[in-house]
Structure 1
Amino acid sequence: MSLLTNSLSLLVLLFAVFLSFHLINPTQYYIKIFKDYTFTTLSSSLPAFPAIILSYRHGNMHRHHKDRPDSGNAGSICDDFPAGIPPPDTNTTSYLCVDRKGCCNFTTVQAAVNAVPDMSQKRTIIWINKGIYYEKVTVPRTKPNITFQGQGYTSTGIAWNDTAKSANGTFSSGSVQVFASNFVAKNISFMNVAPIPSPGEVGAQAVAIRIGGDQAVFLGCGFFGAQDTLHDDRGRHYFKECYIQGSIDFVFGNGRSLYENCQLISMANPVPQGQRSINGAVTAHGRASMDENSGFAFVNCTIGGNGRIWLGRAWRPYSRVVFALTTMSDIVAPEGWNDFNDPTRDQTIFYGEYNCSGLGANMSMRAPYVQRLNDTQALPFLNTTFIDGDQWLQSNI
């Protein structure tokens, strides 16, 4: 697809989202985010991206930026830029600054990543100012110990629009791809703004972020997409107070990850009353053998939004997912889970629930392979010991 076609498609999408925000029926489902930000989880064929995406202008998407604004405009453009950013480097920490208006030393996130010395043992904090950065970003294995510091996940975001078809594979479609170890992201959103596909559409998977490095941390982050939003690929990862939106398999991969106090929001189409069809799934974990120490644990989370969804699908035969102390709305199907329509996986998958609440947490009609965990069985999944957090987590935050 040509650059012009991509640009026009995105403009149409943004305009439609703008109309949806202003014309949406007030009886539809609303989500309150961190007390001071409200937006609609749309039930149409459009994603519910934060309002920051509406302020992004076509002229900023593909033009080249100068390193600094013109001197005649610097006073007006950068008047509100925070003082003391970036702070001076220390013995253990280096700072880089990104601002798309040119008020920092970098106007793109990728340029800042490229400037980090290879195999640096210092923590490099990349301070990213408010706005949408429309670019595809890669953090290679040679760039460990990087932090993306945004200004709030409803204010700062990185967006791109690749799909499995355009990127030659789902795994390569991520707007952001992280292969380095000890990566941290705080108060920033990751988005894939490709058009939302119909269920089962070939080549339409669109990843917002792929996390393939070990010991990664996400604090107060947002993840926005539809099918395959968050590719939790491999390694040990920690997510706290994050907002994750999608429709089908929107948390997938073979990571060993703990999700605490996160919001999991389905933007699948509403299912008409009386119909029993399933049109979404939260997870698709990819553990392929009993020798792999991987799995997803969701603790003190909430599940809401639209559609009728499964908590997980057994993407691989030893898929392992636990939901504990989680509030589930009635969009969760009574059977709860799916064995990928392969009954031979029923004996090897590990799907457990522990002390969950809400209309969707009723286990009386759960699939027979689902485990109702007792205190002892649930304990290994309830805190950061599940990801060996005592060995690395505090030093990364």
Structure 2
Amino acid sequence: MNLVKLAWRNLLRNKRRTYITLASISSGCAFALFIFALIGGIHKKTIEDAARMLAGQITVEHPDYRDAPGPGLFVPSVAAMQAMAAKIPGIESVKPLVAGQGMIASGAGSVGVAFLGVDPAIEGNVSPLARNMVRGRFLLPADVESRGVVIGTKLAERLHVDLGNKVVLTTTDTHGEVVEELFRVMGIFKLGSDALDGGLVEMPLALARGVIGLGEDQATQVGFLLENPDSEERIIVEIRRTLAGQPVAVYSWTTLLPALASWEASGTRGHRVICAVVIFLASFTILNTILMSVVERKREFAMLLALGTSPARLRVQVFLESFLLGLGGCAVGLALGSIAALITARQGIDLRGSVKDGAAPTVGNYAVSLQLRPTLTLEDVAFVGVLVLVLTMIIAIYPTLRSTRIHVANTLRSN
């Protein structure tokens, strides 16, 4: 009789034992896949939030801006970048930014800050900062006239200012001259990062241009937000080809946010290790159930050996049973883990209330997302499934060898 068919019949002969073994394999597989997807979702959300708050997944700058950021190093035409983006599929929106550094002061003192000029019409829809206002509101186009800015909670505490209070920003313009500008606080945000909540000021793009002396079509950075971050490599090649020979440089977010890029790379390796550890711990349960199923069948194996079945054939049969169990357990486990990940991705797990004062862990001054939404890919499913199946097969080696290490006569005489 075909050994695969015989192994299948043996599994169906004792459904209770089979279900217990399947449950141990599938639960370990499902839990590992869910943890894998959860950690991947944390990485993706944190990086996406940082990219959307700043200059997007792809950024165009003056070639020398990275080495020595200054107001005199700018992109000459934002309109040209927007026209180019309209011809490249996959670009969601274009973000012109004016970035600078200076001192902001109130009657209570002064603090060194980074300021960012943004287009309120764009930023209000894409930036996580706009969704994290704790008092007041985010910027509006009308704030150009009222000279409105938004600041972080930590900065508001240090300056002892609240909504409607005035602050003075001191910085240098494109000519290297010191300038002072008066602004009014329209909103206060909280991102969970001390560096951003205590040292970032956002204002309308037109105001920032006026402060440092840029023209209406100029910006220190032009960012591109992508519909699908996985298309970044293709789009960055197209942008570089289109802008070849022009006095600008094109960067990926990995260059502008090196700390997050390093965190993602190490995290990808790390959560694979975590996944392997979870499966390794589950393997003890899998080993126990497979081994017990072999021990319970000692009399059956002894009878087969007494009737002339070769030990090698018996081992192959037991190994095939373990393989079928592993295959079925992985299929059920991957299905359960995927369903759990998809349901959690839709509902989300909000852990922001569990941290003290809302201060999330940070990577490179950017808060790690505490709104957990698992991200599942076919690559993740394949990795976990293959890992569990291979480990199950390795575990099955010992019970397989144990199946023929019995004294036939004594086993048959025993009750």
TM more than 0.5 = no
TM-score if structure 1 supplies the norm length? 0.22
Q: Which has the higher helix share?
A: 2
Q: Is the strand fraction higher in 1 or 2?
A: 1
TM-score by length of 2: 0.21
From the CA coordinates, give the structure whose radius of gyration is larger.
2
Q: Which has the higher contact order (CA 8 A, sep 6+)?
A: 2
